[in-house]
Amino acid sequence: MHEGVDWDALIQDPRFQTLHRRKTRLLWGLMVLSVVYYFLLPIGAAYFQDFFRIRVWGAVNVGLLFALSEFVVAWVIALFYARQAGREFDQLAAQIAADYA
């Protein structure tokens, strides 16, 4: 359909299968982690108020630290994904693309 690339052969290529497997596992794993961690915040704020209220550092309480940790977790997930993608996926994808173009 497109300039004669054999898409079916490409999909069957063991390297593409490896790429697909690793990517799927990492992407959906991180996605679930991100969503679960995010929704812990409103759930905690609604149902675990006594815990959120505990003061740990002057006026700073567990709730504030937890909300701040949401930022850190989002950044860490993003950086972790970008590192893995840059190390593994980009190379594999470029090799496959070069062979089938």
Sign of the torsion formed by the C-alpha atoms of 23, 24, 25 and 28: positive
With contact defined as beta carbons under 8 Å apart, do 6 and 31 qualify?
no
Using DSSP's 3-state secondary structure scheme, residue 60 falls into strand
Among 17, 18, 35, 91, binds another protein (CB under 8 A): 35
Task: Take residue 55 and report the two structure tokens written for it.
Answer: 């003061």
Q: Which residues bind another protein (CB under 8 A)?
A: 1-3, 5, 7-8, 10-11, 16, 19-20, 23, 27, 30-31, 34-35, 38-39, 41-43, 45-47, 49, 52-53, 55, 57-61, 63-64, 67-68, 70-71, 74-75, 77-79, 81-82, 85-86, 90, 93-94, 96-97, 100-101
